[in-house]
């Protein structure tokens, strides 16, 4: 069987048939996941897998009948890895799951405990670049298909995981190659999120803070409905994502610390290089914002509480944004700030618009349950962070605007 081919049209009915196909070719792309360009995508992914320095398996299919979990991607990946018995990097997505599940069964970089985190960071940066190129070519298309994510992941593996954080690893030629309809998800229409032209002034801060406090209550209520599928017309009946285990929560803290430390170092170095002119009041104002964010992030980078660490991450990114942009403010994804910058708005129940990342916008558009940043309450209970009483819930980690960093204790 030639690479990328398939035994017959019903091969994905069982796990056994998927395993048999993977014995012939480590890349399997079913028509339902081919975005209308199945053969082209399959050929590209097969070529990338063959050239990969690390063994790669890619499965994009409908869930076989043995897979009954609501976490179809994770279950199928685990089952396939166990049946095939080949380590390396596994990339699996199904029509019954959300996004692309990436799992590594080998050391990507010897003696580097953060290699997976840096791989994820590099892939996210690359996808942001592709989305920007896509936005220029199509005002209603999203560069968030599992096929695209798989291709970009293999590009990063082929180039080598960057040693530095916040590196954008794709070349201009690679980015332009993905900015075509072959890789787009044109089924989810969204309104692009536009940054305000100016930062709120201190004179308007009291009013903004009051409005934000009211908005965060409403947003939390509506978003809670979206997450749980309760009384929400678009998401009614959707299951709530399973809660993480203690081990998974600890892993999340470790991963967030790495991201926060990298963002903190980036801001610290940028501040060291910045020399605002004494007669440029705007430049000094932006530098003051960055300095305030750095000071507030410093004590939180190594915290044990996940929200504090994520707060450090967003503060550092807010400071970096202020240094590199003459106007506007960094806005993170309201659902989970770890998702990165909110490049668009999405509508929740009742017509409420909130800043979200591409993935959350797609989940809302396609009636999928959201997976918010969770906060641990009394007796170990876990709830979305915006349901708690904290500076992070009041401000939405800055996603709702205002001079939010002033509310964060030093």
What residue ranges do the domains of the chain occupy?
A: 11-178, 205-407
Q: Which residues contact residue 44 at a Cβ distance below 8 angstroms, ignoring those fewer than 6 apart?
A: 151
User: At 3, is the pLDDT very low, low, confident or very high (cuts 50, 70, 90)?
Assistant: very low
Does 273 score more than 50 pLDDT?
A: yes
Does 287 score more than 50 pLDDT?
A: yes
- pLDDT at residue 408, rounded to an integer: 95
Distance between CA atoms of residues 266 and 166, nearest Å: 8
Distance between CA atoms of residues 343 and 324, nearest Å: 17
The fold for domain 11-178 equals Diaminopimelate Epimerase; Chain A, domain 1 (3.10.310)
- Cα separations (Å) of 200 from 3, 197, 208? 57, 10, 8
**Do residues 334 and 344 lie in contact, with contact meaning Cβ atoms separated by under 8 Å?**
no
Does 290 score more than 60 pLDDT?
A: yes
Does 409 score more than 70 pLDDT?
A: yes
74, burial (CB in 10 Å: exposed 0-12, middle 13-18, buried 19+): middle
DSSP lists the bridge partners of residue 345 as 191, 355
Q: Which residues contact residue 355 at a Cβ distance below 8 angstroms, ignoring those fewer than 6 apart?
A: 193, 331, 332, 333, 334, 342, 344, 345, 399
Coil, helix or strand at residue 150: helix
Instruction: Please name the helix (run of DSSP H) or strand (run of DSSP E) that holds residue 317, with its range, or none.
Output: helix 306-324
Does 190 score more than 90 pLDDT?
A: no
Does 181 score more than 80 pLDDT?
A: yes
- pLDDT at residue 135, rounded to an integer: 79
**Do residues 88 and 73 lie in contact, with contact meaning Cβ atoms separated by under 8 Å?**
no
Does 240 score more than 50 pLDDT?
A: no
Q: Which residues contact residue 371 at a Cβ distance below 8 angstroms, ignoring those fewer than 6 apart?
A: 98, 227, 241, 335, 336
Token pair belonging to 371: 């997976």
Of 183-187, 249-253, 328-332, 377-381, the one with minimum mean pLDDT is 377-381
Q: What angle do CA 167, 170, 172 make, to 5 degrees?
A: 120
**Average pLDDT value for the chain:** 79
- pLDDT at residue 213, rounded to an integer: 44
Residue ranges of alpha helices (H) inside 160-245 are: 172-178, 205-228
Reported pTM = 0.52
Which residue is listed with tokens 């279950």? Answer: 75
- pLDDT at residue 203, rounded to an integer: 37
Of these ranges, 9-18, 139-148, 156-165, 196-205, the one predicted with the greatest mean pLDDT is 156-165
Distance between CA atoms of residues 48 and 58, nearest Å: 11
Name which of 266, 259, 309 is nearest 114 in CA terms: 259
- pLDDT at residue 70, rounded to an integer: 64
Distance between CA atoms of residues 59 and 358, nearest Å: 22
Task: Give the CA dihedral 196, 198, 204, 209, nearest 10 degrees.
Answer: 40
Distance between CA atoms of residues 303 and 252, nearest Å: 12
In this prediction, residues 251-262 reach a mean pLDDT of: 88
Q: How many CB atoms lie within 10 A of CB 238?
A: 19
**Do residues 236 and 367 lie in contact, with contact meaning Cβ atoms separated by under 8 Å?**
no
> DSSP state, 341?
B
């Amino acid at each position: 069987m030639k690479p990328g081919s398939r035994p017959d049209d019903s091969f994905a009915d069982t796990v056994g048939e998927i395993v048999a196909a993977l014995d012939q070719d480590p890349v399997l792309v079913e028509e339902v996941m081919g975005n209308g360009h199945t053969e082209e995508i399959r050929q590209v992914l097969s070529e990338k897998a063959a050239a990969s320095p690390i063994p790669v398996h890619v499965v994009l299919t409908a869930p076989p009948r043995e897979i009954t979990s609501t976490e179809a991607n994770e279950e199928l990946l685990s089952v396939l890895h166990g049946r095939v018995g080949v380590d390396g990097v596994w990339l699996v997505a199904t029509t019954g799951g959300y996004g692309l599940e990436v799992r590594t069964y080998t050391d990507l970089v010897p003696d580097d405990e953060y290699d997976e985190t840096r791989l994820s960071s590099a892939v996210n940066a690359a996808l942001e670049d592709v989305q920007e190129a896509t936005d220029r070519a199509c005002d209603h298309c999203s560069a968030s298909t599992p096929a695209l994510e798989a291709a970009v992941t293999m590009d990063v593996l082929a180039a080598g995981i960057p040693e530095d954080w916040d590196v954008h690893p794709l070349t201009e030629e690679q980015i332009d190659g993905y900015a075509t309809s072959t890789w787009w998800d044109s089924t989810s229409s969204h309104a692009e999120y536009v940054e305000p032209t100016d930062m709120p002034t201190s004179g308007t801060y009291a009013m903004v803070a009051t409005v934000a406090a009211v908005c965060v209550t409403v947003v939390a209520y509506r978003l809670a409905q979206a997450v749980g599928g309760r009384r929400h017309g678009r998401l009614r009946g959707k299951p709530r994502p399973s809660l993480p285990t203690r081990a998974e929560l600890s892993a999340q803290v470790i991963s967030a610390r790495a991201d926060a430390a990298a963002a903190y170092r980036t801001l610290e170095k940028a501040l060291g290089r910045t020399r605002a002119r004494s007669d440029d009041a705007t430049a000094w104002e932006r530098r003051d914002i960055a300095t305030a964010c750095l000071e507030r992030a410093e004590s939180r980078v190594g915290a044990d509480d996940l929200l504090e660490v994520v707060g450090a991450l967003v503060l550092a990114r807010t400071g970096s944004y202020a240094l590199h942009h003459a106007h506007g403010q960094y806005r993170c994804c309201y659902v989970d700030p770890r998702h990165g910058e909110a490049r668009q708005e999405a509508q929740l129940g009742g017509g409420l618009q909130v800043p979200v990342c591409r993935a959350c916008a797609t989940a809302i558009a396609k009636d999928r349950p959201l997976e918010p940043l969770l906060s641990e309450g009394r007796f170990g209970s876990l709830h979305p962070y915006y349901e708690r009483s904290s500076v992070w819930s009041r401000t939405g980690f800055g996603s709702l605007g205002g001079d939010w960093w002033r509310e964060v204790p030093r």
